[in-house]
Amino acid sequence: MNAGFDWIVLAEFSAIGLLSGGLLALIALGFVLIYKGTGVINFAMGEFMMLGAYFFYTAHVMWGLDLWLALPATLAAVALAAALVERAILRPLSGQPVISVLMATIGLASALHGGVDAVWGGRNYEMPTLLPRKPLIVGDILIPGQLLWSFLLAAVVITAFTLYFRYSRTGIAMRAAASDPTTAYVLGIDVRRTQRLTWVFAGLVGAVAGIVVASMTSLSPALGGAALGVLAVIILGGLDSIAGAIVAGLVIGLLESLTAGYLGGKVRDIVPYVVVLVILLVRPYGLFGTRQIERL
């Protein structure tokens, strides 16, 4: 193996890692939205991904709806489910210790997982190919087409949400309510509405990510566990930072690709968490997380 070939392999692994990091950042966005709005890590994020993928499969494959009808129908169904979850489960726990809400999301994840298994069964379904497979060849570097298009889709969704939160009146109200709910309430902002929208938006992000992941792999209840692999991303980037989710997603994607390519798949699952641990020793709130100061 000559030196030139080594550089080509490194460039290919790096490109694949950065592109896969875009999808990790998209999934992490769902976690960040919930944490910014409610201060809770939503352990049911993977189940929202799974639910969106199953709804889409039912509408598009089983019912035969056109793609551009099945997708909006799926997003509407997931948005409704997320709003119902917020109203029926999370709102009654408002004001309770964070651990109570955290445990509620874990129970919700188990309930959704069991419900999907009961309705659709535990077998694998083959999703239709939604993203172009034709690879992009840059010199001697080959980039899988689905990976490239999933990165572009993730970039569009993340950019759209970032612009919405920064410039729209509702987005500004959501940021204000997330930053200081009491002051926002005094100023006339409907905090309950902003929290409901937070869950709806997180559900939509999860549905899009779930559909993309299932179309690139397969559809089964195991899809719900895919989001747990993103914990390293949200911890590294900061639980309340969208920019952190983006940067950390790219970093973790790059690390996973390089370690899998050079050291093997088993090491791939370990190295990102080791890096996260080292960085947290220096920055306990993550790369972009908000530092909280408590006075005793």
The tokens of 20 are what?
């896969």
Residue with tokens 């793609």, as numbered in its chain: 67
pLDDT, one tens digit per residue, over 41-66 is 899 999 999 999 999 999 999 999 99
Report the 3 state secondary structure along the chain: CCHHHHHHHHHHHHHHHHHHHHHHHHHHHHHHHHHHHHCCCCCCHHHHHHHHHHHHHHHHHHCCCCHHHHHHHHHHHHHHHHHHHHHHHHHHHCCCCHHHHHHHHHHHHHHHHHHHHHHHCCCCECCCCCCCCCCEEECCEEECHHHHHHHHHHHHHHHHHHHHHHHCHHHHHHHHHHHCHHHHHHCCCCHHHHHHHHHHHHHHHHHHHHHHHHHHCCECHHHHHHHHHHHHHHHHHCCCCHHHHHHHHHHHHHHHHHHHHHCCHHHHCCHHHHHHHHHHHHCCCCCCCCCCCCCC
| Per-residue buried b or exposed e for 67-100, using 16+ beta carbons within 10 Å of the residue's own CB | eeebbebbbebbbebbeebbeebbeebeeeeeee
Structure confidence at residue 292 (pLDDT): 60
Structure confidence at residue 282 (pLDDT): 85
Q: Which amino acid is at 89?
A: I
Structure confidence at residue 192 (pLDDT): 86
Cβ-Cβ contacts under 8 Å for 153 (sequence gap 6 or more): 26, 131, 208, 212
Q: What are phi and psi of 123, to 5 degrees?
A: -80, 165
Structure confidence at residue 1 (pLDDT): 44
Structure confidence at residue 210 (pLDDT): 95
Q: What are phi and psi of 142, to 5 degrees?
A: -110, 125
Structure confidence at residue 120 (pLDDT): 93
Residue 66 vs residues 61, 63, 73, 97, 258: alpha-carbon distances, Å: 9, 9, 11, 45, 39
pTM for this model (two decimals): 0.91
Structure confidence at residue 150 (pLDDT): 95
Separation between Cα atoms, residue 31 and residue 9, nearest integer Å: 33
Q: Which amino acid is at 222?
A: A
Structure confidence at residue 154 (pLDDT): 95
Q: What is the torsional sign of CA 169, 166, 285, 256?
A: positive
Low-confidence ranges of the chain (pLDDT < 70): 1-5, 291-296
